[in-house]
Chains A and B, each alone.
Chain A
Amino acid sequence: MAFSRRVFLHTVAAGSAVAVAGMPLAALAATQVKYGGSAWLGHYPAYLAMTEGFLKEAGIEQDWQSFGTSSSRMSAVMSGGVDIACTGIVSALALMARGAKQFSVIAIPENFGRVEGLMVRGGVKSIQELKGKKVGVTFASSAHLLVLDLIAKAGLKPDEVTVLNVPAPELPAAMQAGQIDAAAAWTPQFDAIRKQPGVTVLADDTQFSLYQSNKVTPGPDVLVVRRAFAEKNPEAVKAYLSAYFKATALLRDKPEQAAGPLSKLTNLSTEDQLAAVKGADWYSQAQQAELLKGPYIEGLQKLAELLVSHKQIDKAPTVKEWIDTSFV
């Protein structure tokens, strides 16, 4: 009995050793990363890096968690439920303004300025003509800031235009039913509203006041990491980013190849998916150092000050204190 048990244990041990030796190194050392995502364009690189196997090759196992809004996603980062996330900068700036040190900005994935804008119907030709009209926009979003900025630049007082809080998915129906005269949205609602008869794009993010000076749109996406996770797994974060930027390269250089797998995330038709991919400028890893140290960050600082002037946040944080270039 004792003999047979010993033989059994030896056999199991030997078998395990053979199996472990046969496994690729990446699988052995796989670090689990909890990623906060959604179907929004800013999450395409993380999704593609997962589906195309770039993360697996880098020894990362990504646990994809979906969130409806950037603020919910950032709440999960704060509570430790998410390690890496792409977020609209407005949510990140709001947290910075509260002194939250639980996260760092580690990369800028893209610039989506041409797939977000203000659309109008009824022959409105200028922002001034919006006086007395209803504009639908999701409050606390980049599109909201774009609207506030355009109204201020046009010399209109905030109460001269009725800006209504409409969740992004409801905007196309509200515009179609004539409940609002104008809508500010981002893709895919931006594309849906733009296709409606009689609707024209009055302004997009390139008309935003900080775009000309710093190439900063009203709510650019940033990739953030939870600091506690990064301190514990610095090599995993570097590996994650190398896989992530393989995906941005695919989006930039082979959009047709990228659009296929992304359709499963977004449920867009291949044609619309391709248009969404091509609608953004995808940054490379080589561009990150310049972006994270240069005028772009000054632009984000100005954006924080603009949010204060529009009474969206109480005080402007020093944005560079949250920038971490060590991983790129």
Chain B
Amino acid sequence: MISKPPSRSALLSTSAASIIVFLAVWELICRAGWIDPIFLPPPSAVFAKAMGMAGEGTLIGNVLASGRRVMIGFLAATAVAIPLGIILGTSTYARAAFDPILSFLRPLPSMSWIPLSLLWFGITETQKYSIVFMGTFAPALVYVIEATRNVDPLLIRAAQNLGANRWQVMKEVILPGSLPQILSGMKVILGLAWTCVISAELVAAREGLGFLIMNGKEFFQTEVVVLGMLLISITVLVTDFVFRVLENRVLRWQR
């Protein structure tokens, strides 16, 4: 006898219960004095801090500042990486020409761009966008190249045999074929963009979640540090959800 698969509400209840138990155990450990609150603040302290900052209006300001930097840097990186990646994925010569440069760029962490970005853009918002851009561009490009190269060559040949020109092959075969993998890659890159924004906000930032975490660290305000970390996770979850909705709409044909 095959058991019935669990309902969506049952799964949601299990997830909610696990969060509640996790928070309760965390609170209990802190209240019992087993962990010094300087090392790990209780969730209640983090919540109180969040409420205090929300009351002052600084909480949403920090989220929006980081969100803006992430989105601009990420969109700029994908706007360049997607067309370039498709070209490199379909042209052997272009790939041979660009591969050495990509190999040089790919291992560089976003933080390593700080000194140069400061010289190029000064202490401006553009400098922060550039850090997110440089931290996400190369990985995004690799995703797009791989997605394009993974399109079944049989489909391309079939389209060519049926008389499709280069543009038609690109539009009707390569682009739809690589889009699912490109979109799932972009979801990963969006998460990466959030790690880059922490580096971007190390220098000349007065607001943002990275700034919040670093400033909290300087003053040993661990509840601020944990709050900043939670806010990053929540924001990534929200953007991930939005991305999934977008993906479902764009790739409706695939289902």
Contacts of A139 in B (CB 8 A): 215, 218
Nearest A residue to B114, CB-CB: A170
Of B202, B217, B218, B221, most buried by chain A (CB within 10 Å of CB) is B218
Q: How far is the CB of A176 from chain B (nearest CB, A)?
A: 10
Give which listed residue, B36, B202, B219, contacts A167 with CB less than 8 A: B202
Q: Give Cα A91 to B219, complex, Å.
A: 6
Interface residue A157 (Cβ < 8 Å from any Cβ of B): no
| Interface stretch of the complex, out of A94-102, A111-119, A189-197, A286-294 | A94-102
Within 8 Å of chain B (Cβ to Cβ): is A134?
yes
Interface size class of A (residues with CB under 8 A): 20 to 34
Indicate if the CB atoms of B219 and A313 lie closer than 8 Å.
Answer: yes
A residues in contact with B218, CB < 8 Å: 69, 71, 91, 94, 139-140
Nearest-neighbour CB distance to chain A for B231, whole angstroms, equals 19
B51 to chain A, nearest CB (A): 15
The answer, among B37, B123, B205, B220, for a CB contact under 8 Å with A174, is B123
Q: How far is the CA of A206 from the CA of B191 in the complex (A)?
A: 47
Q: Mark A72-109, 1 if CB is under 8 A from B, else 0.
A: 00110010000000000001001101111000000000
Question: How far apart sit A71 and B122, CA to CA, in the bound complex (Å)?
Answer: 27
- Contact status A173-B118, CB under 8 Å: yes
CA–CA, A164 and B207, complex, Å? 10
Q: Mark B95-113, 1 if CB is under 8 A from A, else 0.
A: 0000000000000000000
Given A95-B38, A170-B115, A177-B119, the answer on whether A164 and B204 have CB atoms closer than 8 Å is: yes
Contact with A along B25-51 (1 / 0, CB 8 A): 000000000001111000000000000
Are A170 and B215 within 8 A (Cβ)? Answer: no
Asked if A165 meets B204 with Cβ closer than 8 Å, knowing A98-B38, A174-B123, A179-B122, the reply is yes
Is A180 part of the contact surface with B, judged by Cβ < 8 Å? yes
Chain B residues within an 8 Å CB radius of A100: 36, 38, 220
Q: Which residue of A lies closest to B219 (CB)?
A: A94
Q: Which residues from 103 to 141 on chain B have a C-beta closer than 8 Å to any C-beta of chain A?
A: 115, 118-119, 122-123
Check A170/B118 contact, CB under 8 A, given A98-B38, A165-B211, A179-B123.
yes
Instruction: Please name all residues of chain B whose beta carbon is closer than 8 Å to the beta carbon of A99 when the two chains form the complex.
Output: 38
- Cα A75 to Cα B118 in complex, Å, equals 29
Q: Does the CB pair A180–B123 fall under 8 Å?
A: yes
Contacts of A30 in B (CB 8 A): none
Contact B122 A165 (CB under 8 A): no
In this assembly, does B203 line the interface, its C-beta being within 8 Å of a C-beta of chain A?
yes
Smallest CB gap from A99: residue in B: B38
**Given that A165-B204, A165-B206, A166-B203 are known contacts, is A140 also in contact with B219, CB under 8 Å in the complex?**
yes
Give chain A interface residues in 168-222, CB to chain B under 8 Å.
170, 173-174, 177, 179-180
Are A78 and B123 in contact, with the CB atoms below 8 A?
A: no
- Would you call A165 and B205 a contact (CB within 8 A)? yes
Q: Let me know if B119 and A173 touch, CB within 8 A.
A: yes
The answer to whether B220 touches A167 (Cβ under 8 A) is no
Alpha-carbon distance between A91 and B118 when the two chains are bound, in angstroms: 27
Q: Which of B156-196 contact A (CB under 8 A)?
A: none
Q: Which residue of A lies closest to B37 (CB)?
A: A98
Provide the residues of chain A in CB contact with B38, threshold 8 Å: 78, 95, 98-100
Contact with A along B43-70 (1 / 0, CB 8 A): 0000000000000000000000000000
Taken together as a complex, chains A and B put the C-alpha atoms of A200 and B36 apart, in Å, by 46
Q: Which of B204, B205, B219 contacts A312 (CB 8 A)?
A: B219
**Residues in A neighbouring B211, C-beta threshold 8 A:** 165
Q: How far is the CA of A133 from the CA of B36 in the complex (A)?
A: 42
Contact assessment for B220 and A165 in the assembled complex, using a CB-CB cutoff below 8 Å: no
Q: Is the CB of B219 within 8 A of A134?
A: no
Q: Is the CB of B123 within 8 A of A95?
A: no
Of B36, B37, B115, B123, the most chain A CB neighbours within 10 A belong to: B123
Q: Min CB distance, B198 to chain A, in Å?
A: 14
B119, A71: Cβ atoms closer than 8 Å: no
Chain B residue contacts of A98, Cβ below 8 A: 37-38, 220-221
Per-residue CB contact flags for chain A residues 16-37 toward chain B (1 = under 8 Å, else 0) read 0000000000000000000000
Contacts of A165 in B (CB 8 A): 203-206, 211
Chain A residue with the shortest CB-CB distance to B204: A164
Q: State the Cβ distance, A308 to closest chain B Cβ, in Å.
A: 11
- The residue on A at minimum CB distance from B124 is A179
Using CB atoms and an 8 Å cutoff, list the residues of chain B in contact with chain A: 36-39, 115, 118-119, 122-123, 202-206, 211, 215, 217-221
- Other A-B pairs, 19, CB within 8 Å; known A139-B218, A167-B202, A179-B118: A71-B219, A91-B218, A91-B220, A95-B220, A139-B215, A140-B219, A163-B206, A164-B204, A165-B203, A165-B204, A166-B203, A170-B115, A170-B118, A173-B118, A174-B118, A174-B122, A177-B122, A179-B122, A179-B123
Cross-chain pairs A/B with CB under 8 angstroms, 7 sampled: A71-B218, A100-B220, A140-B218, A165-B205, A170-B203, A173-B118, A179-B122
The 3 closest A-B pairs by CB, nearest first: A140-B218, A179-B122, A94-B219
